[in-house]
Amino acid sequence: MAPLTLALVEDDPEVRALLTQYFGQQPDMRLTVVAASAEELLRELAVAHPPQIALLDLGLPGMSGLDLLTTLRARFPQTDVIIQTVFDDTDRIYQALCNGASGYVLKNAPLEQYREAIVEVSQGGAYFSRAVARRVLQHFKPTPQTRPEVLSERERDVLQALVDGLSDKQVAERLHLAHATARTHVRNIYRKLQINSRSELLTRAARGQL
């Protein structure tokens, strides 16, 4: 199986070097583009094949990370974007969700969490650290209100776990389900609620629209 192709946009040289070294040691992942700014990334992508996943810092010089996120989603819709940043304020998190981010990882997270986020997103899911999900939920105070006839009791349990920011694997562990069973419930929830992605689900939850 071909390794996942990644792009990294990080202006801090120490963080950039650390992540470059870490991903260089992952046999199933390959950094194809490493850039220090949004402008540098876009120049590289003008002549390079778009990566499957882009790791994007928000605090960039020149074009902001949020503006770059919007540009990437418009130009390269096949590329999923994971935000990796020191910023954990609700406004930035919410803007990133609304602009199409598939994940949000804080820079103080263990390196293994980056890997977990990439694997989850590559499999069609989304990844948001628990601290990030909790901050959004506390700010907007969403209360999922689905009609009993729409979702089964187990699906409502899975939905609540998703809104709590858990990955599919963590949902399975919380509810004592097989991983495949949890993913089936997630797909059924998406179908019944007419949701296309984890980021859309969390955005709608944040708005109180579930």
In eight-state DSSP terms, residue 59 is S
pLDDT attached to residue 50: 92
Per-residue pLDDT tens listing for the chain (210 residues):
789 999 999 999 999 999 999 999 999 999 999 999 999 999 999 888 899 999 999 889 899 999 999 999 999 999 999 998 887 677 777 788 888 888 888 888 889 989 989 998 998 887 877 777 666 656 555 445 545 458 888 998 999 888 887 888 889 999 999 999 998 999 899 888 888 777 778 777 766 676
pLDDT attached to residue 86: 82
| Residue 18 structure tokens | 């650390």
Dihedral of the alpha carbons of 195, 199, 201, 205, in degrees to the nearest 10: -150
186/7 Cα distance (integer angstroms) = 28
Q: What are phi and psi of 43, to 5 degrees?
A: -65, -40
Evaluate whether 30 touches 7 at the Cβ level (below 8 Å). Answer: no
pLDDT attached to residue 28: 94
Amino acid type, 144: P
In eight-state DSSP terms, residue 2 is P
pTM of the model: 0.67
Alpha helix stretches (DSSP H) within the chain: 13-24, 38-45, 65-75, 90-98, 111-122, 130-140, 153-163, 168-175, 179-193, 198-206
